[in-house]
Structure 1
């Protein structure tokens, strides 16, 4: 990865407009409201990646109790900045974060980045029988609640 990019965990560095602009167009959070993004950031441990000029070009967050479980979400790098290992660097930084050590389980959902996560030690759930979910795939297209 080029050393011209830098990571930050500082919540005040997160550029909510940039994060929202990407997420609202993503396949997993299409039409998400800015207020929802703000609440998600406030309730998560976030990392951002920043280009030399200071613009945010990537983001990832973990929803966690900081004791037993972590859910990795909203990992992205803007297309113009892909190919520099930035997503891997963000995920690795989260893996290594002092508040996330000793967790029993990490989880994520992805439709298109299995190779990235496999290279970082993630595995597919072989037997998903014990896992259940409540899933509302169109919630962001509904009126704000």
Structure 2
């Protein structure tokens, strides 16, 4: 459940794309230096989630999901404004995304994180049971 004063919206027109790009390209280890044009293309090809302060309307967080909407989803680019961290917004936001995706009947939702395992564990994510059967092409 989101803390009082915050809401989640999936309307891509509401996203503060400049802010999202700055957060990710400057402050996210996985997206450092990502060009604005690539970020815009990623937004266009994804289901986007914005976390907003209901009083000011300012965007407080961002996440996107790459999915076929039926069997599989990849949760990525999850970011909470650094000035707002430590208030439980990350966990609440991840839970809101999880709850939104529950209605799709997906078989699997994956994500990768180097440092936020506790956040995702709180909303039900677990390590891969058999990581040896997964493979990657490209950057790891």
Output the TM-score relative to the length of structure 1.
0.87
Equivalent pairs, count: 137
> In structure 2, do the counterparts of structure 1 residues 98 and 107 end up closer, same or farther at CA, with 3 Å as the change threshold?
closer
Counterpart residue number, 1:110: 113
Counterpart residue number, 1:143: none
Q: Please tell me whether the aligned partners of residues 3 and 92 of structure 2 are also in contact (alpha carbons under 8 angstroms).
A: no
Displacement of 1:99 in angstroms is 7.5
Displacement of 1:134 in angstroms is 1.1
Unaligned runs of 5+ in 1: 138-145
Moved over 6 A (4+): none
> In structure 2, do the counterparts of structure 1 residues 40 and 106 end up closer, same or farther at CA, with 3 Å as the change threshold?
same
Unaligned runs of 5+ in 2: none
Output the TM-score relative to the length of structure 2.
0.90
Displacement of 1:79 in angstroms is 1.4
CA-to-partner distance for each residue in 1:20-79, whole Å, 9 max, x for gaps? Answer: 001002100010001111111111111111223222121011100000000000001011
Counterpart residue number, 2:127: 124
Counterpart residue number, 1:18: 19
Counterpart residue number, 2:56: 53
